Amino acid sequence: MEFTVNVDSIDLADVIGYNHDDTERTLGDKIAEDIVVRIANGPHWETITTWVEKVRDEMIRTTLAPILAEAMENPTVRTNFLGMPTGDKRTMRELILEHTRDLLNAPIDGRQQNGTVLEQFIRREIVSTVQAEIIAAVAEVRDRVLAEIGENIPDLVGAAVHVALKAR
């Protein structure tokens, strides 16, 4: 038995079936889906993903940079919940600096006796730095002492034992 199939033309927009939501499924949809499956399961997926993420990040950066620069430099007026102006004009940069200053000078847990966020940070840094320096200094002294008495340890122990025994 012999079959003959004649196809006059192939168009990517030709409908070849229907999706689960009853939308038309075209030949182009099927080909695109097959390409995506092959790429996603292929050995170069990580490389392609990384490249796409880099391109995306750069596009976002170039798009947002002028918008952010304008927002940082152009003054705005604070408004209340009704949108009515409630203060003087200030730039976003000034507002960020003000909020940062307030945060750093805020008391820990709402109590001034524990100090501010900035004071706690400085204390932690000083303690960790001093601890590291003390540990290094003790190790250095220990190494020096061991180097000086290392050879004489048997004699020193023997002399100490001898003195202890005489004292009994």
In a domain, 95, yes or no: yes
- Do 89 and 128 reside in the same domain of the chain? no
User: Torsion angle, CA of 131/134/140/141, rounded to 10 degrees?
Assistant: -150
Across 27-31, 72-76, 87-91, the highest mean pLDDT is recorded for 27-31
CA distance 32 to 16: 14
Average pLDDT, rounded, for the chain: 86
- Do 149 and 120 reside in the same domain of the chain? yes
Residues 78-133: tens digit of each pLDDT: 888 888 888 888 888 888 888 888 888 888 776 667 788 888 888 889 999 999 99
Out of 85, 104, 123, pick the residue that ends a domain. 104
pLDDT band at 26 (very low <50, low <70, confident <90, very high): very high
pLDDT score recorded for residue 24 = 92
Q: Looking at the 3D structure of the chain, how many domains does it have?
A: 3
H helices, E strands: number in the chain? 5, 4
**Cβ neighbours for 119, distance < 8 A, ≥ 6 positions apart:** none
CA 52 from chain centre, in angstroms, equals 20
The CA distances from residue 143 to 139, 153, 154, in Å, are 6, 14, 18
Q: What are phi and psi of 139, to 5 degrees?
A: -60, -40
pLDDT score recorded for residue 112 = 67
- Do 88 and 67 reside in the same domain of the chain? no
Residue 54 has pLDDT above 90, yes or no: yes
pLDDT band at 77 (very low <50, low <70, confident <90, very high): confident
CA distance 105 to 142: 42
Q: Residue 131 is part of which domain span?
A: 115-168
Q: Summarize the chain as % helix, strand, coil (round to 5).
A: 65, 10, 25
In a domain, 142, yes or no: yes
In a domain, 85, yes or no: yes
pLDDT score recorded for residue 58 = 96
CA distance 160 to 154: 10
